[in-house]
Amino acid sequence: MPGSHGSLTKAGKVRQQTPKIDRSGVNAVKKKPPRMRYRYLYERRVGKGKYSGQTDSIGAKRASYKRK
């Protein structure tokens, strides 16, 4: 198998040429790692007894039935 699929001198060429765009709108705040996010959701659901989602979602309605 002679050669390779591209020379190493061209590696990363396109990414370096792409302009950097700042985060804006929904993506303005950097997201937490999944482990921290799931821990927060667990604490709200089990510890505080609240369902951390939209108030009219199916999961929130199920949680409200269990509280009664």
Task: For 7-39, write each residue's pLDDT tens digit.
Answer: 888 888 999 999 999 988 888 888 899 999 999
Band of the pLDDT at 1, cuts 50, 70, 90?
low
Residue ranges of domains in the chain: 30-68
* Separation in Å, CA 2 to CA 5, 6, 11, 13, 51: 10, 12, 19, 23, 59
Quick check: 57 and 63 in contact, CB under 8 A?
Answer: no
Confidence band of 41 (pLDDT split at 50, 70, 90): confident
The answer to pTM > 0.75 is no
